[in-house]
Structure 1
Amino acid sequence: ELRTPLTSIRGYAELLRKGALDDEAGRRRAAERIEHEATRMGVLVDDLLLLARLDQGRPVEEAPVDLAGVVTEAVDAARAADPAHPVTLSARQPVMVTGDAGRLRQVADNLLHNASVHTPAGTSVQVDVGRSNGHAVLVVTDQGPGLTPDEAAHVFDRFYRGERARGRPGTGLGLSIVSALATAHGGRAYARPGAGGGAEFVVELPLGPSAAPPAPSGTMAGHDPELGEPARR
């Protein structure tokens, strides 16, 4: 993963050094490609460093966090970044957990980015946040091609890319980071086929100590009915 952008940077730099690009437009394109590949490599290095820290068991920040509020911000950003994938949010606020708000935002961002990259333009994404069985639950449901049993079992593995995903952009670390951050917060992440097709990506986290008991009515797809009527956006 690191070798590919490095090879590209080296190749374009060599062309510039040898003066092989005679016109200004060609030199500008080469410089842009170097910048693009360097940015891509920087993202990959940052992701690898984060995973290394989590592997070492370094604790995440522990503070009260409203998961519903964090996910709402991520959904707003995803809508602005990718209007081709309509996102519907169903959340009952607040859903309090204990953890690092920035890292939990990264979990939501990565799940939404995954849905954007691996599903056809025009298909919708459903995001649910609530409580179930004593946990805070985030579910992102897409309308893409779904997951085979093997893909569902390995989709959170580092650098894993299913057959249908190998031609798409990405490092293969986004979902690995989701899983590692969920574990660091005392929870878990898993994937399963969506009830109406597509795939569901689920993150479960322990509820924070200030979380109020949920109302007895309401349901959440794939979970026990422990939610009140959610607010939809």
Structure 2
Amino acid sequence: TPLTKLRLAAAMLEDGSNEELQQSMTRNIEAIDATIGQFLDFARAGEGESAQPGDLARLLRAIAADFRAQGHAVAEKLETLPGFAFRPVAMRRLIVNLLENAVRHAGQGIAVHCARDHGTVHFSVLDRGPGIPMSQAEKAKQPFSRLDRDSAKPGAGLGLAIVDRIAKLHGGTLELLARDGGGLEARVSLSIGPERTPGY
């Protein structure tokens, strides 16, 4: 494939004869790879996956731990949630996208929260970055939409669109809110029906 050929060409430059070119090629390959990955994630978005009973709080905790292992400070405020059915691979993609977004645009004050409010589960990824104008919140969720702050950064503008699509696939919603004290709160709300005790 073209990407494979580019990777091979970059590898052939690893003798140090043109280190600047090699690094530039590597960065561009990684950017192309990430963009293709976003297109594939958007195309799939969990629609072919079956829902199964799971523990959302446990999944949030595990993904937050993965990000901490990569050197990112991620705080947690996770309540015990009732078991309910969701698509585990798609839900993982949703949470990872939100955390990657927080790391990319803020890099500080990142936290993961979840709570139950009667028949609805809310979970959020919060940060202390510059946030976004609330007038652009809906635009930010549209496919291929890139805000002014993102114009110089790689990507296809699909990260939040994927999150929104997966949330809707689960009968839920994605809200982008101004965080108290500054920053952004990306909140997903899922209706799980009447309250149930943990254990499904």
TM-score of the superposed pair, with normalisation by structure 2:
0.80
1:173 aligns with 2:164: no
Letter in 2 for 1:51: F
Q: Structure 1: 5+ residue runs without aligned partners?
A: 214-233
Deviation string for 1:28-75 (max 9, x for gaps)?
665565455444433322322332345xx9353210011101111111
Aligned counterparts of 2:61 and 2:151: Cα–Cα separation in 1: 30
Instruction: Compute the TM-score of the two structures, normalised by the length of structure 1.
Output: 0.70
Distance verdict in 2 for CA 1:25–1:68, change over 3 Å: same
Asked if the contact 1:110–1:175 (Cα under 8 Å) also holds between the matched residues in 2, the reply is yes
Task: Pick from 70, 80, 90 the counterpart of residue 69 of structure 2.
Answer: 80
| Alignment partner, residue 64 of structure 1 | 53
Pairing 1:58-207 to 2, within 5 Å after superposition: 58-83=47-72, 86-119=73-106, 121=107, 123-207=108-192
Runs of 4+ in 1 over 4 A off after TM superposition: 27-36
CA contact (8 A) 2:122 2:189 kept: yes
In structure 1, what is the Cα distance between the partners aligned to 2:43 and 2:177? 27
Whether contact under 8 Å (2:42, 2:158) holds in the other structure is no
Is residue 172–residue 191 contact of structure 2 (8 Å, CA) maintained in 1?
yes
Q: Is the 8 A contact 1:90 1:127 kept in 2?
A: yes
Deviation at 1:167, TM superposition (A): 2.2
CA deviation after TM superposition for structure 1 residue 27, in Å: 5.2
Q: Distance in 1 between matches of 2:48 and 2:195?
A: 21
- Distance (whole Å) between structure 1 residues aligned to residue 180 and residue 26 of structure 2: 42
Judge conservation of contact 2:119–2:193 (CA < 8 Å) in 1: no
1:47 and 2:41 aligned = no
Distance 1:106 1:190, change over 3 A: same
Count of aligned pairs: 194
Query: CA contact under 8 A between 1:96 and 1:208: conserved in structure 2?
Result: no
Going from structure 1 to structure 2, the CA distance change for 1:95 and 1:115 (only over 3 Å counts) comes to: farther
Which of the pair has more CA radius of gyration? 1
Give yes or no for contact 1:159–1:173 (8 Å, CA) kept in 2.
Answer: yes
> Is 1:26 matched with 2:11?
no
Mark the runs of 5 or more structure 2 residues left unpaired by the alignment.
Answer: none
Task: After superposing the two structures, state which structure 1 stretch, 73-82 or 25-34, moved more.
Answer: 25-34
Root mean square deviation, CA, Å = 3.1
How far apart are the structure 1 equivalents of 2:27 and 2:117?
42
2:83 is aligned with what amino acid?
M
**Residue 169 of structure 1: how far off its partner (Å):** 4.0
Deviates more, 1:107-116 or 1:169-178: 169-178
Measured in 1, the distance between the counterparts of 2:82 and 2:19 equals 49
Shift of 1:91: 0.8
